[in-house]
Amino acid sequence: MATGDISNLQPEDSKPRESFPPKVNLFTMFRLGLFQMGLGMMSVLALGILNRVMIGELAIPATIAAGALAMHQFVAPVRVWFGQMSDAKPILGYHRTGYVWIGATLFAIASFLAVQVMWRLGNVVQAAGGWSWTTQTSGWTGLLALVFVFYGVALSMSSTPFAAMLVDVSDEDNRSKLVGIVWSMLMVGIVIGAILGSSLLKQVGTDAPLSALQASIDRLF
């Protein structure tokens, strides 16, 4: 029995230490947390301010407004698919970063598009003197729901590979610390988004014309 090649076999854990990624320091943890902070701010702006404006200022029924906003949750299962995609198909040589950047860009664009569709729907409702199911209201409502579907897909494309990236760049010694800091910054983003939204609405005022509110919200988004 030939045994000449047995001496060349090495255990898997004999991989040189320098081939492993460097340990994540505290500054990098907070830098990675900026992504989650952005998600927190976006959630307040997209789901909080738009919900209030549609119901309060544009007289869109709460059921219609909430249903359109909730569409991004119905596509949440695609997170599993994007997680598998980031494992198997890297973008520009990176398994996670490309998905995070592309997804973030797309959901930022989708949020601004949602604002513009919301104004169009509000104009139709005001022109009709109140809400009623017409061809125009149905079309703009369907388009608004479709934009939030796109928003949810883009959010899934970025957030799941980002969570996988946290596992990739950390080890058992600092993974819990990294996850804790990153998800704490999500809460920071929610607080900042709430402050920004409240400040915006106070500056415009409750008696301001709708055009002033529209200009302020467009500028914010």
Query: Does domain 26-220 match CATH 3.40.50.300?
Result: no
pLDDT one-digit tens code per residue, 111-163:
999 999 999 999 999 888 888 889 999 999 999 999 999 999 999 999 999 99
Q: How far apart are CA 100 and CA 168, in angstroms?
A: 14
Tokens, residue 106: 């797309």
Tokens, residue 148: 């939030």
Tokens, residue 71: 């569409």
CB atoms within 10 A of CB 113: 18
Q: How far apart are CA 43 and CA 172, in angstroms?
A: 30
pLDDT one-digit tens code per residue, 83-109:
999 999 999 888 899 999 999 999 999
Look at residue 173 in the predicted model and tell me its pLDDT.
85
Look at residue 208 in the predicted model and tell me its pLDDT.
66
Q: Indicate the domain borders of the chain.
A: 26-220
Q: Which residues, in sequence order, are CB contacts of 214 under 8 Å at separation 6+?
A: 119
For residue 17, CA distances in Å to 13, 24, 29, 166 come to 9, 15, 22, 20
pLDDT one-digit tens code per residue, 4-62:
444 444 444 444 444 556 678 899 999 999 999 999 998 888 888 898 889 988 999 99
Map tokens 């934009």 to a residue.
Answer: 147
